[in-house]
Amino acid sequence: MAEVSHFAKRGASRVPPRIMQNLLHRLPLLMAEFTQIHSPKFTHLVDQLEFLADVVEDFAEGAYLDMPYSAAAASAFAIIYTHRLLDIIPDFVAQISFEDDSAVVRAVLSLYEQDLEKYAHAQHLNWKKITLKP
């Protein structure tokens, strides 16, 4: 998991405010795309992505100001990574297609746990439900 965490941190460091703003405008379409993920092995992935999308949206719109940029950028990176068609494990590979996407999302949730948990509580969300399973 250390390699995935390093990968997520490095990816987050490459998300400037301009990309965050562009992502904000694409979130509705991306979330519609993510709802099409049907993987019995990764049942929480869609909920986790929805949570990260809410983080990005609230941060980019200035609705939640207690989020460090690094946590919001990592959330954005996880969304961007999951959307990519060509990632470490292509999404058309049966059985394991979302393992890399889930690993990146879980790494972000873990790396920025304190900030994201604080956000979840502010939004009256059950943090344990978000992070319960891969």
Q: What is the pLDDT of residue 110?
A: 95
Structural Rg of the chain based on CA atoms: 14
The angle, 0 to 180 degrees and rounded to 10, between the axes of the packed helices 45-60 and 113-122 is: 80
Q: Which 3 state secondary structure label does DSSP give 128?
A: helix
Q: What is the pLDDT of residue 134?
A: 52
Distances, alpha carbon 58 to alpha carbons 42, 52, 79, 96, in Å? 25, 10, 15, 32
pTM: 0.88
pLDDT block averages, 10 residues each, the chain of length 134: 88 95 94 82 88 97 96 96 63 60 93 97 94 64
Q: What is the pLDDT of residue 4?
A: 87
Separation CA 28–CA 14 (nearest Å) = 22
